């Protein structure tokens, strides 16, 4: 029913026009999604002083929400591969005087993270979430028991064809490859224990949250969860 998009790597997704030539319009064009960003950040139970990784941070539209939770003792580490988006994120941090926001320009698999972060946010980064290598690189950079939250768009049930055509049009500027759009958390659920998934807006959006293994050696057991146990981790609203 849905045409297959050409296959891009997550790194190539950072070269979409929305993140390069049109980056200056990104905030205005995606302002309508701000309440979804709030819902995704709210799924991260952060504490003052936490270090949080904002994966594919874009222009930094989640920074203020994260800083509200972690305070001046905490730190936001933003990573994004698109130079124009990183420039906007750095300008935002400078303008607001956020000295505890550090933005790196790199594909997430090559990012110099350098700390064992307390949490990671994947906000509207479908292409990154579809790379098992990228998701694993982020999860491996977190401390044991760290919180992870992800959210964004997804397909509604297949019979809702008209709705899914609208979903495709809405997300096409920001998604290089719609592969996995029926279950965007598919790689995350193999690495995060008890990932809780909540769908909303007739199944066209989701928020997922869970924690890394407290004992990193037990992470491989989450890798092996299949069938009914795996299904039990989903909580559809
Ligand atoms: C839809 S934007 C989301 C930005 C931000 N999280 C928000 O909520 O507005 C997706 C971002 O992911 C970045 N990106 C895509 N692939 C990436 C990769 N492999 N490594 C780092 N950033 C990537 C893009 O450059 C873009 O800024």
10-222 placed in CATH 3.40.50.150:
yes
Ligand 1: centre distance to CA 10 (Å): 9
Give the pLDDT score at 164.
97
Mutate to test the pocket of ligand 1, among 58, 171, 184 (most ligand atoms within 8 A of CB): 58
CA-108 nearest atom, ligand 1: 20
Pocket, ligand 1, Cβ cutoff 6 A: 10-11, 13-14, 19, 30, 37, 56-58, 61-62, 79-82, 85, 107-108, 123-125, 127-128, 134, 174
Ligand 1: centre distance to CA 228 (Å): 33
Give the pLDDT score at 13.
80
Give the pLDDT score at 226.
31
Token pair 């935002």: residue:
92
Token pair 């936490």: residue:
50
Give the pLDDT score at 84.
96
Ligand 1: centre distance to CA 123 (Å): 8
Give the pLDDT score at 230.
32
Q: Cα(first)–Cα(last) distance of the chain, in Å?
A: 25
Q: What is the three-state SS of the chain?
A: CCCCCCCCCHHHHCCCHHHCCCHHHHHHHCHHHHHHHHHHHHCCCCCCCCEEEEECCCCCCCHHHHHHHHCCCCEEEEEECCHHHHHHHHHHHHHHCCCCEEEEECCHHHCCCCCCEEEEEEECCHHHHCCHHHHHHHHHCEEEEEEEEEEEECCCCCCCHHHHHHHHHHHHHHCCCCCCCCCCCCCHHHHCEEEEEEEECCCCEEEEEEECCCCHHHHHHHHCCCHHHHHCCECCC
For residue range 109-138, what is the model confidence (pLDDT) as tens digits? 999 888 899 999 999 999 999 999 999 999
Question: Which own/partner pairs from 161-168 qualify as long-range (CB within 8 Å, at least 24 positions apart)?
Answer: 161/1, 163/202, 163/204, 164/1, 164/2, 167/204, 168/2
Give the pLDDT score at 8.
57
Low-confidence ranges of the chain (pLDDT < 70): 1-11, 216-237
Give the pLDDT score at 216.
60
Whole-prediction pTM: 0.89
Q: Where are the domains of the chain?
A: 10-222
Kindly give, in sequence order, each residue whose CB lies less than 8 Å from that of residue 229, ignoring residues fewer than 6 positions away: none
Token pair 């002083």: residue:
49
The radius of gyration of the chain's CA atoms, rounded to the nearest angstrom, is 17
Ligand 1: centre distance to CA 40 (Å): 15
């Amino acid at each position: 029913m849905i045409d297959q998009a050409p296959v891009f790597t997550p790194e190539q997704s950072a070269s979409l026009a929305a993140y390069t030539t049109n980056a200056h319009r990104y905030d205005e064009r995606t302002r309508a999604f701000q309440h979804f960003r709030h819902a995704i950040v709210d799924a991260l139970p952060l504490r003052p002083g936490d270090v949080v990784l904002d994966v594919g941070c874009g222009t930094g539209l989640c920074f203020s929400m994260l800083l509200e939770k972690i305070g001046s003792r905490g730190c936001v580490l933003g990573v994004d591969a698109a130079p124009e988006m990183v420039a906007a994120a750095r300008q935002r941090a400078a303008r607001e005087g956020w000295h505890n926001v550090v933005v790196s320009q790199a594909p997430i698999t090559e990012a110099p993270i350098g700390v064992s972060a307390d949490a990671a946010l994947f906000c509207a980064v479908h292409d990154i979430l579809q790379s098992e290598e990228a998701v694993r690189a982020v999860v491996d950079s977190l401390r044991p028991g760290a919180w992870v939250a992800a959210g964004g768009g997804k397909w509604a049930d297949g019979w809702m064809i008209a709705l899914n055509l609208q979903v495709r049009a809405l997300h096409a500027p920001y998604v290089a490859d719609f592969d996995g759009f029926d279950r965007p958390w598919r790689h995350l659920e193999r690495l995060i224990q008890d990932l809780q998934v909540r769908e909303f807006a007739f199944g066209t959006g989701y928020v997922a949250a869970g924690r890394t293994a407290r004992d990193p050696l037990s992470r491989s057991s989450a890798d092996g969860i299949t069938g009914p146990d795996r299904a039990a981790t989903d909580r559809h609203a």
